[in-house]
Structure formats: C-alpha cells, structure tokens
C-alpha cells in the first residue's frame, strides 16, 4: 500500500515536472484523475488517497467546485467507522491546502480573515455534523474535524461559538 501510494505521488510529480518543461499549462491528467475518483462510490476507501494526492496540483477551490458532493461525502464517511481516517486525511489536506493558497504572496493574513474564508466553505458542513442526530457523526466530527479546524484556523472558534450561541 505504501509503495503504491508513493508511486502514485511520484507519477503526479513527474507529470507536473514534464508539464513545466514543455510549458503545458492545461495538465488534463489531474482533472481526469479527479473525474475517475468522483465516479467511484463514496463508500470506497480507495478513492480518498488519490483525491488527497491530486489536491495540491488542482487546488482545493477547483476540487470543491468540480466535486460538489465532497462535503456531504465527508460526513457520510464520518458516519462509517472504517472510512473515518480517510475522511480526516482528506479534510486535513483540504484545509492545509486552502490555508496555503489563501496566504500565498501575503506576509500577514489576519486569522479572522482566514477563518471567514474557512466558514464560507466549511461552517455549514461542520455545523451539520456537530448537530447531527447521529451520535457517531457528532463524536467523529468533534474529535477529528473540529480539532483540525481549530488547529489550522484558530479564529474559527469565534464563528463556531457564535453559530451555536443559544442552541443549548
């Protein structure tokens, strides 16, 4: 499994270098991989590693635009114990890539600004998970998604707190 994962990552990197060398800005292979992943059932663990691997090459915004069901599929995975680690890896990778993109070319981006951008994409999804009637989804969201959200976007705490104010 590690050998296959490493080989796939090397393939993506070699393709990127080849495209750079030949000044090919289109890079259709990444989009083709994403389409193949989207066609796989969300219950398949095999879909999440390639999705994480292709994310840095396509960018998180493009992936989220093309793969509109991704947030819901993440919640489905968090409701299924054996898919929870895959969902966490994917969520963490997306957040790391989003943070990197949003900070690109800027020295000091206020944490509040980053949290606002995070909220546009993820606050509804995380709120749905944390208030779900499914105790498994609630637990996994609070133990995994919430932890990584607060670690990468600390100012999101205030947005979450505001959203849940008076809900208890």
Per-residue pLDDT of 116-168, as tens digits, reads 999 999 999 999 999 999 999 999 999 999 999 999 999 999 999 988 875 54
Residue ranges in 104-134 assigned as alpha helix (H): 111-130
Query: In a 3-state reduction of DSSP, which class is residue 24?
Result: coil
Range from 2-6, 34-38, 69-73, 112-116 carrying the lowest mean pLDDT: 2-6
Dist. CA 156–CA 119, nearest whole Å: 7
Average pLDDT over residues 19-34: 91
Across the chain, what does the average pLDDT equal?
Answer: 94
Whole-number Å distance between alpha carbons of 110 and 33: 35
pLDDT of 126: 97
> pLDDT-based confidence at 8, cuts 50/70/90?
very high
pLDDT at site 2: 86
> What is d(CA 158, CA 3) in angstroms, rounded to the nearest whole number?
42
CB 78 within 8 A of CB 129: yes
pLDDT recorded at residue 136? 96
CA angle 27, 30, 36 (to 5 degrees): 140
Element (H, E) at 151: helix 146-152
Q: Is the pLDDT of residue 85 over 70?
A: yes
The answer to whether 27 and 15 have CB atoms below 8 angstroms apart is yes
C-beta of residue 141 within 8 angstroms of C-beta of residue 130: yes
pTM across the whole model: 0.91
- Angle, alpha carbons 81-147-129 (nearest 5°): 55
């Amino acid at each position: 499994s590690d050998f296959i994962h490493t080989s796939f990552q090397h393939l993506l990197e070699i393709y990127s270098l080849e495209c750079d060398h030949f000044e090919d800005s289109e890079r259709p292979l990444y989009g083709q991989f994403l389409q193949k992943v989207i066609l796989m059932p969300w219950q398949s663990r095999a879909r999440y590693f390639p999705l994480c691997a292709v994310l840095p090459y396509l960018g998180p915004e493009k992936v989220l635009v093309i793969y509109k069901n991704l947030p819901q599929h993440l919640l489905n995975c968090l409701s299924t114990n054996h898919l929870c680690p895959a969902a966490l890896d994917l969520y963490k990778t997306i957040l790391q890539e989003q943070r990197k993109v949003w900070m690109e070319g800027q020295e000091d981006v206020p944490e509040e600004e980053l949290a606002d951008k995070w909220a546009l994409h993820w606050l509804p999804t995380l709120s749905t998970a944390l208030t779900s009637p499914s105790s498994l989804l609630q637990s996994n969201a609070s133990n995994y998604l919430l932890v990584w959200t607060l670690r990468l976007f600390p100012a999101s705490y205030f947005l979450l707190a505001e959203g849940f104010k008076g809900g208890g």
